[in-house]
Amino acid sequence: MNSLVKRDAVFLDRDGVINLYVYNAEFGTVDSPSSPDEFTLAPGAGNAIAEFNRLGLLVVVVSNQPGIAKGKFTSALLDRVTTKMHDGVAASGGKLDGVYYCLHHPEAVVPQYRAHCGCRKPHPGLLLQAARELGIQLQTSYMIGDGISDIEAGRAAGTRTIFIGQAKPYILDALEKRGIQPDFMAPTLADAAESIKRQMAAIRNGQMLEEPDGERPNRNSVSDQS
């Protein structure tokens, strides 16, 4: 898309942000859904995306999905999961403007996907591609994710960043070791939507881009409790 007027966007990681992880009781592990039956929208995620739409923001999914490369599922199953995601969001009145997946993995068992690429987060390739194709202004957009690689990708692309989840000390330690930190933190995508709504209202009113106490990363305000 070539346009003189670029739009602001919200880039969303998928697993753990839009949908729930799948828990394997036998092995005590969590993973991405590998079939439509395993895909469940996170509570409030569809409504949050609808709120982004109402705010005039493009909503773009940017997600590492190496399951095909690892031989865990097929491209057809990934397509069906993506369709279920679109349908679930639409049922809440929302719309996804783009979905960008990195299918590569450096240790892939499927040779065509074995690569050290520039699109696998923490690299910013997916965000940069979406910005080119959809006419997105990166500096005034947001990257929202529940992983350190999401924050790194957003920083590398030049967006603001919001970390979804609990601000536990080990997460803050890992961010500090990489020399980065998110601009804001929020427990859920719904909370992130409310935060962005307030920020946009403050900007329209000519106020400083600040958030209420507790929404910026603060080591003194977190605990080890789950």
Residues serving a catalytic function are 13, 15
Q: Which helix (H) or strand (E) holds 64?
A: strand 58-64
Structure tokens at 131: 């910005």
Place of tokens 């329209």: 204
d(CA 59, CA 10): 5
3-state secondary structure 1-44: CCCCCCECEEEECCECCCECCEEECCCCEEECCCCHHHCCECCC
Q: Which helix (H) or strand (E) holds 198?
A: helix 189-204
DSSP bridge pairs for 142: 10, 160
Among the listed residues 118, 224, 97, the one whose alpha carbon sits nearest the alpha carbon of residue 169: 224
Answer positive or negative: Cα dihedral of 208, 185, 136, 55: negative
Which residues, in sequence order, are CB contacts of 210 under 8 Å at separation 6+?
Answer: 202
d(CA 203, CA 206): 5
